[in-house]
């Protein structure tokens, strides 16, 4: 008996849409804007290009949603790591390092791989193709990073973890630039060790330059080990 094909339920359609974005995000970070197509996504998830066009219309529309997702995710993570109450300042640095390591290992499962792993770094690389949407997203992320890191520094000073004369602006700049520099480090070296060493050096510099003496004596490095006394 003939009849119309059943249409997917709202939940099924949303699940398919989410899966398309998930796969597209993976392809984008690894390959860049020009390194994948709707056909690649369709093959990966077992659907048709027409179905992907149904959900997103065009690759430009898909990329605009991915850009917003990447920016929103980065802002949520930086906020969580640097503003959760009760976390010491240098422990926040450790949480940040652990988060970066998870991203790196997700996209670089094989030892010595030099894959791109940062969505924001990939967006910066593709700015000539992505244009205003990516530019505006990155500018907003940078502003949020500055705001959140400044809040963390101010709270650490108020709590006595950092000295009152700590140069707030310079420390915030140093933290933000360090975060932005991590992806190129791993591509240069083929490993995450350089990033870990940089965070360790940064923690030592912060402790030595701006932490009160009584705090410094019991400080820990970003690898979780007690600082070695000289």
Share of the chain above pLDDT 90, in %: 83
Q: What is the pLDDT of residues 18-30, one digit of tens each?
A: 999 999 999 999 9
- Round to whole Å and give the CA distance between 187 and 206: 26
Q: What is the pLDDT of residues 57-68, one digit of tens each?
A: 999 999 999 999
Query: Which residues are within 8 A (CB) of 2 and not within 5 positions of it... i.e. 6 or more apart?
Result: none
pLDDT of 40 > 80? The answer is yes
Q: Domain limits of the chain? A: 10-57, 64-216
Q: What is the pLDDT of residues 1-14, one digit of tens each?
A: 343 444 455 566 67
- Round to whole Å and give the CA distance between 27 and 54: 20
Average pLDDT score over residue span 109-114: 90
pLDDT score of 213: 76
The three-state DSSP-derived secondary structure of the chain is CCCCCCCCCHHHHHHHHHHHHHHHHHHHHHHCHHHCCHHHHHHHHCCCHHHHHHHHCCHHHHHHHHHHHHHHHHHHHHHHHHHCCCCCHHHHHHHHHHHHHHHHHHHCCCCCCCCCCCHHHHHHHCHHHHCHHHHHHHHHHHHHHHHHHHHHHHHHHHCCCCCCCCCHHHHHHHHHHHHHHHHHHHHHHCCCHHHHHHHHHHHHHHHHHHCCHHHHCCCECCCCCECCCC
Q: Which CATH number fits domain 10-57: 1.10.10.60, 3.30.420.40, 3.40.50.1820, 1.10.10.2120?
A: 1.10.10.60
pTM above 0.75, yes or no: yes
Q: Which CATH number fits domain 64-216: 1.10.10.10, 2.70.70.10, 1.10.357.10, 1.10.3720.10?
A: 1.10.357.10
Q: Can you name the residues that pair with 220 across neighbouring β-strands?
A: 226
- Round to whole Å and give the CA distance between 82 and 172: 12
Helix 132-158 / helix 89-107 crossing angle, nearest 10 deg:
150
pLDDT band, very low/low/confident/very high, at 220 (cuts 50, 70, 90): low
Average pLDDT score over residue span 27-48: 97
């Amino acid at each position: 008996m003939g009849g119309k094909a059943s249409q997917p339920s709202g939940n099924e359609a949303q699940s398919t849409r989410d899966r398309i974005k998930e796969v597209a995000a993976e392809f984008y970070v690894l390959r860049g804007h020009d390194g994948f197509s709707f056909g690649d996504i369709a093959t990966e998830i077992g659907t048709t290009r027409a179905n992907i066009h149904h959900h997103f219309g065009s690759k430009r529309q898909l990329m605009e949603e991915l850009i917003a997702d990447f920016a929103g995710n980065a802002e949520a993570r930086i906020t969580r790591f640097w503003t959760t109450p009760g976390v010491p300042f240098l422990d926040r640095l450790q949480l940040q390092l652990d988060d970066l390591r998870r991203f790196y290992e997700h996209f670089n499962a094989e030892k010595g791989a030099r894959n791109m792993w940062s969505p924001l770094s990939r967006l910066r690389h593709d700015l000539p193709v992505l244009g205003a949407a990516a530019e505006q997203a990155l500018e907003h992320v940078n502003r949020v990073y500055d705001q959140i890191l400044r809040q963390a520094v101010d709270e650490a000073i108020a709590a006595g973890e950092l000295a009152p004369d700590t140069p707030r602006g310079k420390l915030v700049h140093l933290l933000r630039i360090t975060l932005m520099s991590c992806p190129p480090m791993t591509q240069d070296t083929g490993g995450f060790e350089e990033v870990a060493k940089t965070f360790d050096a940064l923690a030592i510099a912060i402790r030595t330059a701006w932490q009160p003496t009584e705090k410094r004596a019991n400080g820990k490095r970003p690898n979780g080990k007690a600082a070695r006394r000289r």
